Amino acid sequence: MNTIITMKFAVKPKCIFFILLMLVSTSIWCQAQQAKTKPTDSVNTIPDTLLFKIQTAQSAITEINAANKKGYNLDAIQRQFNTVKENVNPLIISFKAKEELDTKNLLSFDLILRDADTRLKNITAILVQNSNALQKMSDQVVSLSSDTLLQNNNGEDGRKLYHQQISEIKSRLQEAGKLTGENLSQVNVLLANTSALNVVVNDLRAQTAEKLALSGKLALRKRNPYLWHATLQNPASQTTGNLIASSYQGQQQILKYFIHSTWDNRFLAILISVVFFIWVHRNFKSSRRAAIRRQLGDLKFEYLKPFPIFSTLIVLLNITPLFEPDAPALYIELIQLLLLAVMSVHLWNTLEKKQLRFWLMLMALYTIMIIGNAGVDDTLPLRVVLIAINIFFIWIGVQLFNKVTFKEFSKKYIRTVLIILILMNALSVLLNLFGRVDMAKVTSVTGVIGLIQLIGLSVFMQIMLDALDLQMKISSCNNGLFSRINHMKTKAKFKKGLSVLCVLLWVIVLLINLSLIGGLWQWISEILSKPRVFGSIHFSLGNIVFFVVIIYIANKLQKHVPLLFGEERITFNEDSGHKGSKVALVRLVIIVLGVLLAVMASGLPMDKLTVVLGAFGVGIGLGMQNIVNNFVSGIILIFEKPFRIGDYVELADKKGKVRDIGIRSSKLLTPQGSEVIIPNGDLLSGRLVNWTLGNDFIKTELVFKVSAESDFEDIKKIISGMLNEAENTVKKLPPEVLLNNITADSLEIKVLLWINNIYVEAEFKSDFLQQLVKKLKDASVKIM
């Protein structure tokens, strides 16, 4: 019994320990569950947390006030919105009035609407970003305001110590919330207005696209009475001045919008013109220096002046269409009129009286045409005036066809322009007769502008050629870049490039006036950007064009690198010095960068590129080993530098001067004038002798025979005296006069000497032997 009782009491303390452990664990678990389910409130936190919450609130309020004080550029955004709305409003009125719009106006409308859509999308993106930021700040204000810890309560929870700070935070929260709400309201209102206008713009774009699709089909339809049915007076009793004014009021908005919206393109053209002005003016200023004036004299150019204001304006007005291909036709017409006026002032003293009269007549008729075109409707007098002007320009085209020549352009190009002038004006007459007045206006102006452009571009080309000629002369006098290149070839290449540019400008203006530039550019863009598939490779024609252009430019650059580094053309007889291998290194860098940029522009994915490189590796293994060997050898030659440009080297049976160090091969200029192209692999692996690596000295020998009766010592003194007086011998290395062989009737004498320049060895031997023959004859020594 006692045993049982003792066992019970022995077990009881352990049971109590386990029971207490379970109770404590259960209590902790219950508290944790209550902590998860019971919402926390800052009112139950300790005073340190209260202070942290106050500091956090103050920091948040400061950030909110700073953001609101900085503002969200709402005034600027509102102005942008108003500008877009002002540009779109005339279009809305035109479409509501259901006016009949020609292709020229529709293309201008499409330009305005596309730009408006882009601007509205940018405004929307900014407003959405601002709205999100303001909404976030508003939620933060609401969260801080509803926090019970920041309630002004003077209870026993310790907050009475922070009563003043809490009151100040609450007041600042109300002000921040009010300002944030006002900004958010303004942003949302502006966002709603922007969205509504964007809907209108998209609808107008759809209508414009639909009308443009139909405009081509309706362009040649009869919209006016036949000429013989035309009335003498407009039915609406509008005068010609009113017709012109009303027409230009419609074009004025488009023109004003275009000028303001494309300032960046125009700025680039102006910048190029300013650079041209500075370039020419500085060259004329340099030509006045005494050293250059003594060489060149007074420079006079027919189309270029020392202060080239008008020349710069002619350049600017000619290149403007290249930077503004989306320009309205009226803009191009005014540019050409301004070009005519500037050329008139510039060439006033250059043209003969007969040419000047023709020039002023051309300018007057063109002015009447572009002004009168705006007022021509279905009235007989104005249509007859237009036909008369067309007939006059047809007569001008016929007269100039076989007479006029421009030395800047080929006859084929000039005759093409004149044929287009004649055909366009003849077509304008026919269209006018049969009631297609709108098309008649377009074709007549297009033909005349083609003639004006021909004249303007010829003057432009002559100005650029004169500027290049001036630069080449100044550079040659200063031993600059153009002193190392052929002037005639450079001028010919520059003229060829200018001719291509002029033809491009002429075509651009022609397409703008015919309202075809937009459609043609869109068609080209679609062709170039359309995704294409070749097996598993995706590409576009635009990527291929970029690839080819980059490779072509890189190739041209690496070929002309020596000119940029001041390396003249190597000749065999002249001492051109020794050039390092930096040219080859720069060539290597250009080629590598060009290939990398071309691969990036091609859009070829890296996984596909590895496949191409793998195939390239297989090609190397099969048949391109020599090419890769030469390429790697060229890189080794660049860094190892066993020879330099200008060194005299010998390889196998070839001797000559190193003319060029390339990536795959190098060129050797032989004494006979031939150029030997040697693969770099042969130069690296073959036994190469460099005669001029350390210096240009060369040890040469002269062998001749004299009579056996001659005194060798006397001959030795004669030769030693001559060598001491010679110019090209190395004085610190004395010559050797040796008796090389003896026969029954002769003595063979060998002379060994050092010459300080390997390139004058043959000339030195010839001069020395001539003098030696004379000296030996004077000494009565018989030469065998």
Domain end point (choices 636, 655, 690): 690
Paired with 737 in beta bridges are 751
Within this chain, do residues 479 and 457 fall inside the same structural domain, yes or no? yes
Paired with 665 in beta bridges are 679
Within this chain, do residues 513 and 544 fall inside the same structural domain, yes or no? no
Give the residue among 601, 561, 593 at the shortest CA–CA distance from 579.
561
Domain end point (choices 168, 197, 219): 219
Is residue 40 situated within a structural domain?
no
Compute, in degrees rounded to 10, the torsion defined by CA atoms 461, 462, 468, 473: 170
Q: Which amino acid is at 777?
A: K
Give the residue among 72, 53, 176 at the shortest CA–CA distance from 128.
72
Within this chain, do residues 510 and 657 fall inside the same structural domain, yes or no? no
pLDDT at residue 42, rounded to an integer: 43
Cα–Cα distance measured from residue 175 to residue 561, given in angstroms and rounded to the nearest whole number: 68
What's the predicted TM-score (pTM) here?
Answer: 0.63
Q: Is 379 helix (H, G, I), strand (E, B) or coil?
A: strand
Within this chain, do residues 627 and 668 fall inside the same structural domain, yes or no? yes
pLDDT digits (tens, 9 = 90+) for 360-416: 888 888 887 777 665 545 677 777 888 888 888 888 888 888 777 777 777 888 888
Cα–Cα distance measured from residue 557 to residue 594, given in angstroms and rounded to the nearest whole number: 10
Whether the predicted pLDDT of 278 surpasses 90: yes
Whether the predicted pLDDT of 196 surpasses 70: yes
Within this chain, do residues 475 and 357 fall inside the same structural domain, yes or no? yes
Is residue 784 situated within a structural domain?
no
Domain end point (choices 661, 690, 719): 690
Is residue 538 situated within a structural domain?
yes
Within this chain, do residues 538 and 677 fall inside the same structural domain, yes or no? yes
Within this chain, do residues 519 and 534 fall inside the same structural domain, yes or no? no
Within this chain, do residues 86 and 213 fall inside the same structural domain, yes or no? yes
Could you tell me the residue range of the domain that residue 22 belongs to? 2-33
Looking up tokens 């379970």 gives 22
Is residue 614 situated within a structural domain?
yes
Whether the predicted pLDDT of 29 surpasses 70: no
**What is the arithmetic mean of pLDDT over 303-323?**
88
The token pair at 583 is 């040219």
Cα–Cα distance measured from residue 88 to residue 115, given in angstroms and rounded to the nearest whole number: 10
Whether the predicted pLDDT of 41 surpasses 60: no
* Other beta carbons within 10 Å of 166: 21
pLDDT band at residue 277 using 50, 70 and 90 as cut-offs: very high
Is residue 39 situated within a structural domain?
no
Within this chain, do residues 734 and 603 fall inside the same structural domain, yes or no? no
Give the residue among 441, 660, 430 at the shortest CA–CA distance from 563.
660
Within this chain, do residues 388 and 482 fall inside the same structural domain, yes or no? yes
3-state secondary structure 491-516: HHHHHHHHHHHHHHHHHHHHHHHCCC
Compute, in degrees rounded to 10, the torsion defined by CA atoms 279, 282, 286, 288: 120
We report the CATH number of the domain holding residue 774 as 3.30.70.100
User: How many residues appear in the chain?
Assistant: 784
Within this chain, do residues 335 and 396 fall inside the same structural domain, yes or no? yes
pLDDT digits (tens, 9 = 90+) for 129-155: 888 888 887 777 777 776 665 565 555
Give the residue among 664, 671, 626 at the shortest CA–CA distance from 650.
671
Please calculate the CA angle 118-123-124 and round it to the nearest 5 degrees.
95
Write out the H or E segment, with its range, that includes residue 437. Answer: helix 437-477
In angstroms, the Cα distances linking 527 to 35, 340, 520, 530, 543 are: 67, 37, 11, 6, 11
pLDDT at residue 9, rounded to an integer: 38
Within this chain, do residues 756 and 737 fall inside the same structural domain, yes or no? yes
Evaluate whether 706 touches 747 at the Cβ level (below 8 Å). Answer: yes
Paired with 750 in beta bridges are 703, 738
Is residue 43 situated within a structural domain?
no
Is residue 750 situated within a structural domain?
yes
pLDDT at residue 50, rounded to an integer: 62
Is residue 766 situated within a structural domain?
yes
pLDDT band at residue 276 using 50, 70 and 90 as cut-offs: very high
pLDDT at residue 49, rounded to an integer: 64
How many domains, the chain? Answer: 5
Cα–Cα distance measured from residue 676 to residue 669, given in angstroms and rounded to the nearest whole number: 6
Evaluate whether 328 touches 108 at the Cβ level (below 8 Å). Answer: yes
Write out the H or E segment, with its range, that includes residue 88. Answer: helix 74-96
